[in-house]
Amino acid sequence: MKMERLGMLLIVCILISSAAMTAGIALQRSEEPITLPVKQYTFEMDTAYPDVAPAMTIYQVKSVNISEMDVEAIGKLLGINGGAGVVNDGVLGMVEGTKALNVYTVSGAIWYADTAKLFRSVEKEPRLPSDAETMEIAETFLSSRGLFPGDAVVSNVVADEQGEINTSTKEVSNVIKTDLQVIFGRKIDDIPVTGPGSKLKVYIGNGGEVTGFYKAWRALEPHSECKIKTPEEAFEDLKAGKCRFAGPIGFDKAIVNEISLAYYMEAADKEQNFVEPVYVFKGELLFGEDVTEFEALVPAVP
């Protein structure tokens, strides 16, 4: 029997954690827009088009100028001493013992981890706090260090898990929690923010100890009002393949069962001058008798 980690997220995080010991921690890049070979696929609508305002506000991203002194100041807040240096292009960081800090100069995003405790296999399930206690620990950790954005709201608490999987039968057993994540959400003008560059999460382990956190939270200011596409126009763009598509290719049919508006934030390592709205399409992909989910983002600005 072979021991494996469960879930794509946890496997990815283990790779990030081991890299942090030496060269720092790399954050994910956003998906690039792709054009679907639409002649092969059929999109169907299984929900009503939402009512939307004819125009929305475009926001400008406030520029940041991150220096090594800035990183060292953040490090002191996290109990990391010493000097900051270049981790790789566009990333400054610090390492002391098993603690690692990365700051992305283009966005100001922060990633911190105690690599000896975060995303590690455990012999037995650690003593983890309740969800209510976990949320309080996370908020106190951030606010006491001046790292808690005023518009952040707790979205949910999720657990990372490990278990044993029989690679022959795919049977999973001995599943236990390894740590908890407190995930915060953000809204602009009561519109949700989506994308890899809008994330705030705190990792909490044994005994309620904070073992890591990730904050990508660009500061914004209103720039201009802009007319947006109708949901019907956005659906036509989706069918034409003008979108960011998250889902397996090769499906027989796509059924849309949810449409909403969101503001899109680029990944922490990518430059972004303006934040614009997108239409978010969610639904099901049919592969014969098999069904899986998809999400597609279509620019709302013509």
Q: What is the mean pLDDT of the chain?
A: 87
3-state helix, strand, coil in the chain (%, to 5): 15, 45, 40
Q: What is the pLDDT of residue 22?
A: 28
**Residues whose CB falls within 8 Å of the CB of residue 93, separated by 6 or more in sequence, listed in order:** 24, 25, 71, 84, 85, 86, 87, 100, 101, 102, 103
Query: Are the CB atoms for 164 and 3 separated by under 8 Å?
Result: yes
pTM of the entire predicted model: 0.83
Q: What is the pLDDT of residue 270?
A: 94
Q: What is the pLDDT of residue 116?
A: 95
Helix (DSSP H) and strand (DSSP E) numbers for the chain? 4, 18
How far is residue 279's CA from residue 78's CA, in Å, rounded to a whole number? 38
- Specify the 3-state DSSP secondary structure of 184: strand
Average of per-residue pLDDT across 184-203: 96
How far is residue 243's CA from residue 126's CA, in Å, rounded to a whole number? 42
Q: What is the pLDDT of residue 96?
A: 96
Kind plus residue range of the DSSP H or E element containing 142:
helix 131-143
Query: Are the CB atoms for 167 and 2 separated by under 8 Å?
Result: yes
Q: What is the pLDDT of residues 206-220, one digit of tens each?
A: 999 999 999 999 999
Percentage, residues of the chain above pLDDT 90 = 74
Answer whether residue 29 shows pLDDT above 90.
no
Q: What is the pLDDT of residues 67-114, one digit of tens each?
A: 999 999 999 999 999 999 999 999 999 999 999 999 999 999 999 999
Answer whether residue 275 shows pLDDT above 90.
yes
Q: What is the pLDDT of residues 54-69, one digit of tens each?
A: 999 999 999 999 999 9
What confidence category does residue 27 fall into, taking pLDDT thresholds of 50, 70 and 90? very low
Q: What is the pLDDT of residues 37-51, one digit of tens each?
A: 544 568 999 999 999
Kind plus residue range of the DSSP H or E element containing 239:
helix 231-239
Name the phi and psi angles at 233, rounded to 5.
-65, -40
Residue with tokens 């979205």: 155
Average of per-residue pLDDT across 198-213: 97
How far is residue 155's CA from residue 253's CA, in Å, rounded to a whole number? 32
Q: What is the pLDDT of residue 36?
A: 56
What confidence category does residue 16 fall into, taking pLDDT thresholds of 50, 70 and 90? very low
